[in-house]
Amino acid sequence: MDFSQLQFKQFKATLIVALLLFTFIFIYLSYSSFSYQKEYITRKIDVLQGFAERSMTRLQTNPSLYKGDDATILGDDRMQFVSSYQQLSTHLNNVPKEQHIQTGKVNLYINQFGGLWSVSEVILIYRIHHQGEDYFAYFHNNTRFNDLELQTFLTDKMQPAIITASALIIALFIFQLFQISRVSSMVFELANWADTVSAGKPIAPPKMKSGGINYLAKTINKSLDTFSHILEKEHAFARFSSHELRTQVAVLSANMELLELIMNDLKPQERRVLNRMLSAIEDMKYQTEALLWLSKETEKDLVTEMCSIKKIVAKSVEENQLYLNHEQVKVVIVGDDLSFVSHPTLLQIACNNLIRNAFQNTEQGQVTVEINERSFTITNQNEPPLKGQQTQTGFGIGLIIVERILDKLQFAYHVDGLDSGRSVQITLPE
């Protein structure tokens, strides 16, 4: 997981917690609204029962005053005492059927549910049976007035909840920003440490405040130690192998020279066999020499001095005459000399490989070495072109050795396949 993904996950966690807090606030307000309405209805039931009992007392005291068409009204539009179901249905809309109204208890009817911010429209009816007659006390709430009361109640309830939730969200965001900044600084510190670590210079990882980052640093350090150990073994093997091979190649080369002196009267066919053997030994000599130099630990092991491209190319041409078809191939060196500070042996090995490969891959035509201000180019062209020549892009291990050498010397290396051969350009470092 990269650092941007870690930041995204932390931000996502913050949003989830914020949504949970808002959900909690909504549930809290819903519960508060429900509790208010339940408490409101409970209070009104008690009030209605008390009102009904007082009204019955007055009715029993003076029946003629409170019964009949000209009876005195007990109560108001919201709460009233009536002496018949007909009067009840006159004062209330959507009144339930008479047989559905129970006697001796308060009947609750909800005409319209008000939701979170509004009081539900309710009707409370208290039915009293006295001396064979039914009397009704009812309460019908004023939703507009009660909405204001409910909103005031919810505002009082909501204010501490909102303040608490907002404080928690702000604290959470600040904590997440602190965590992101803390993790960022540790990651940057770990990256700076990783940049300073090299195979030959192990450095202990910095101690982090986070256990996970500490574990990551120790894992990276362990991997680097393992890699350094493997690399050291490879370098040691390359040095040992190169020394051993160079000894054997030197013995072969010396004996081949003696053999050539002894066998001066070789026939042309026998001479070609001897030349192929000499060619193979030269290839082995250059490759083992290159491997030995490439196995050097650091650039400090490589001694640099002023190098001349013309001298290096001329030496390569001379040492690789064995691979040149003198009758059919022409060698041309153009341009002024180019001098710069570099490692002469490694540069000579790379140039030898390129010149030798150019000679080996040119049966008839021209090999051109063009020297420019900051680069030199080796081009081999067959006349006529060899079949399939343009599809070849390298020369096996020779190309790999050249690439490794030029990379070690920080030279730019570019190969172009041509219809009649190929062109290799080597550019000096800036």
| Pairing mode, strands 329-334 and 365-371 | parallel
Cα dihedral 377, 382, 383, 385 sign: negative
Show pLDDT as tens, one digit a residue, over the chain (430 residues): 455 665 666 677 777 877 887 787 778 777 877 887 788 888 889 999 999 999 888 888 888 787 766 777 888 878 889 888 888 888 888 888 888 889 988 999 887 776 666 667 788 999 998 888 888 999 987 665 555 666 676 667 666 767 777 787 788 778 777 877 777 777 777 777 777 766 556 666 667 666 567 777 777 777 777 777 777 776 677 667 666 666 777 777 777 777 777 777 777 777 777 777 877 777 777 777 777 777 665 555 567 889 999 999 998 898 888 788 777 889 999 999 999 999 888 888 889 889 988 988 888 899 999 999 899 999 999 887 655 544 444 445 677 888 888 888 889 999 998 888 889 999 998 7
CA distance 341 to 323: 30
* Residue in the structure block whose two tokens are 């060899």: 386
- Residues 9, 13, 19, 21, Cα dihedral to 10°: -170
Asked if omega into 160 is within 30° of 0 (cis), the reply is no
Give 68-125 as a DSSP string.
STTPPPEE-SSEEEESSHHHHHHH-SSPPPGGGSPBSSEEEEEEE---SSS--EEEEE
Report the SS3 class of residue 423: strand
Q: Which helix (H) or strand (E) holds 135?
A: strand 133-140
Lookup: tokens for 289: 């020499």
